[in-house]
């Protein structure tokens, strides 16, 4: 109960725009960058001198966000903020977006898999026919990360171990609502009737993706982490009944607070490569007591676990294989 309580009422952040060191010479991609946490991250990193790729599906909104950030964050640094057209719910759009990025950049220091969708109308599907939350929150980010992995590895080879990172966005629902089995794998092909249930599946899936990438690329010096950004006032709740944001308003924080969680995950020097696959809580701290059933799901049956994460990754890899 104490851990859950502290996610509703977190301690003060330790890495903010005021304490973040210069990011000149470093390159970032932030999905969902034109609103909410993504917008705040783009603004903070641009102000710190980073080259920031603001990724999203809507070019008009993206370019407007670029203009707004540059107008708000007058800086004499060498940083830049650039729109990158990318639709996570259309797997066919991701490889061209990556090609555009690698044609312009030779390095990538931190990938923020920030974008997500929650509780869209029942029956909402992606361009490839997957349940929309599964595609946007898991399949699209997984494909994006795998296509960017060569660039992340090249950057890691010339950087301090663990300074190149991939950040995956989960949610407090992992602690509160995930079933003891973690994910019923049959629901990936046959979604549950309850959209909140499907959302919970994707947020558990984000942790599985973070842990899988840590196992895959930790040896290369890439640190992969999952994070609950916090309970925030963002557009993520736009599909929920209108009464929900009203009732929860006293427990919600500004989107910038969520950016502080992501900043800690991306830049804290307290984290090492051995922390790969771990879970970050608001506004920047390691989860002190992850659920044992979820930890067991991330172990293979041979290692005494349930192997659920292996099954999830097998499914995800199969779905993205034709788009790499």
Report the range out of 74-78, 236-240, 250-254, 281-285 with the highest average pLDDT: 281-285
pLDDT at 75 over 80: no
Per the structure block, which two tokens stand in for 9?
């009422």
Helices and strands in the chain: count of H runs, count of E runs: 13, 8
Enumerate residues 6+ apart whose C-beta is below 8 A from 173: 199, 200, 203
* pLDDT in the model for residue 237: 55
Q: Please give the domain boundaries of the chain with CATH numbers for all domains.
A: 2-9+22-323 (3.40.50.720)
Q: Is 53 a catalytic residue?
A: no
Using pLDDT thresholds of 50, 70 and 90, give the confidence band for residue 5. Answer: confident
Ranking 9-18, 86-95, 109-118, 248-257 by mean pLDDT, the lowest is: 248-257
Contact in structure between 12 and 235 (CB atoms under 8 Å): no
Tokens 């308003």, residue located: 249
Determine the pLDDT at residue 245.
59
What 3-state class would DSSP assign to 263? helix
The three-state secondary structure class of 158 is coil
**pLDDT score for 139:** 98
Q: Identify the bridge partners of residue 34 per DSSP, sorted by sequence position.
A: none
Whole-structure pTM value: 0.95
CB 172 within 8 A of CB 231: yes
Average pLDDT over residues 282-298: 97
How distant, in Å, are the alpha carbons of 11, 18, 66, 159 from that of 102? 38, 31, 20, 18
Report d(CA 66, CA 84) in Å as an integer: 11
Q: How does pLDDT run across 13-65, given as a tens digit for each residue? A: 999 999 999 999 999 999 999 999 999 999 999 999 999 999 999 999 999 99
Phi, psi for residue 46 in degrees, rounded to 5: -65, -45
CB 25 within 8 A of CB 296: no
pLDDT value at 247 more than 90 = no
| pLDDT tens digits for range 30-41 | 999 999 999 999
Distance CA(297)–CA(208), nearest Å, equals 9
Q: How many whole angstroms from its chain centre is CA 102? A: 20
The predicted pLDDT at position 52 comes to 98
User: Any catalytic annotation for residue 315?
Assistant: no
| Beta sheet of 80-85, edge-to-edge order | 80-85, 51-56, 27-31, 110-113, 164-169, 222-227, 279-281, 285-286
**Cβ atoms < 10 Å from Cβ of 161:** 14
Contact 93, 139 (CB under 8 A): no
Q: What is the pLDDT of residue 169?
A: 98
Q: What is the mean pLDDT of residues 249-255?
A: 79
The span from the CA of 224 to the CA of 97, in Å, is: 22
Residue 255: which H helix or E strand, with range? helix 255-267
Q: Which of 46, 203, 278, 279 is catalytic?
A: 203
Confidence of residue 2 (pLDDT cuts 50, 70, 90): low
Q: How sure is the predictor about 236, in pLDDT bands with cuts at 50, 70 and 90?
A: low
Tell me, what's the pLDDT at 272?
97
Q: What DSSP string runs through 166-187?
A: EEEE--THHHHH--TTS--THH
Lowest mean pLDDT among 42-56, 63-77, 171-185, 262-276: 63-77
Percent of the chain, pLDDT > 90? 88
Arithmetic mean of pLDDT, 73-89: 88
Residue 225's pLDDT band, with cuts at 50, 70 and 90, is very high
Q: Of the residues 46, 199, 260, 279, which is catalytic?
A: 199
């Amino acid at each position: 109960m104490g851990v859950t309580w502290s996610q509703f009422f977190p301690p003060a952040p330790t890495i903010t725009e005021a304490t973040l060191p210069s990011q000149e010479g470093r390159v970032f991609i932030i999905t969902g960058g034109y609103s909410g946490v993504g917008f705040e991250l783009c603004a903070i990193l641009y102000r710190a001198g980073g080259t920031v790729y603001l990724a999203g599906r809507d070019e008009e909104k993206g370019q407007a966000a670029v203009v707004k950030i540059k107008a708000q964050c007058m800086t004499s640094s060498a940083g830049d903020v650039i729109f990158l057209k990318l639709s996570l719910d259309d797997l066919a759009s991701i490889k061209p977006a990556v090609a555009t990025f690698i044609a312009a950049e030779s390095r990538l220091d931190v990938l923020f898999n920030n974008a997500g969708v929650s509780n869209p109308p029942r029956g909402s599907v992606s361009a490839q026919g997957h349940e929309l939350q599964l595609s946007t929150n898991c399949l699209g980010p997984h494909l994006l990360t795998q296509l960017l992995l060569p660039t992340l590895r090249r950057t890691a080879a010339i950087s301090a171990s663990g300074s190149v990172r991939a950040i995956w966005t989960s949610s407090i629902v992992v602690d509160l609502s995930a079933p003891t089995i973690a994910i019923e794998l049959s629901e990936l092909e046959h979604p549950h009737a309850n959209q909140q249930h499907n959302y919970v599946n994707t947020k558990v899936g984000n942790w599985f993706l973070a842990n899988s990438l840590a196992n895959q690329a930790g040896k290369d010096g890439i640190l992969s982490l999952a994070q609950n950004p916090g309970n925030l006032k963002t557009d993520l709740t736009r599909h929920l009944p209108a009464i929900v944001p009203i009732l929860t308003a006293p427990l919600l924080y500004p989107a910038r607070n969520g950016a502080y969680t992501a900043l800690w995950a991306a830049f804290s020097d307290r984290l090492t490569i051995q922390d790969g696959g771990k879970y970050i809580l608001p506004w920047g701290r390691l989860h002190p007591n992850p659920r044992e059933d979820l930890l067991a799901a991330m172990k293979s049956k041979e290692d005494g676990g349930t192997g659920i994460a292996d099954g999830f990754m097998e499914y995800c890899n199969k779905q993205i294989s034709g788009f790499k």
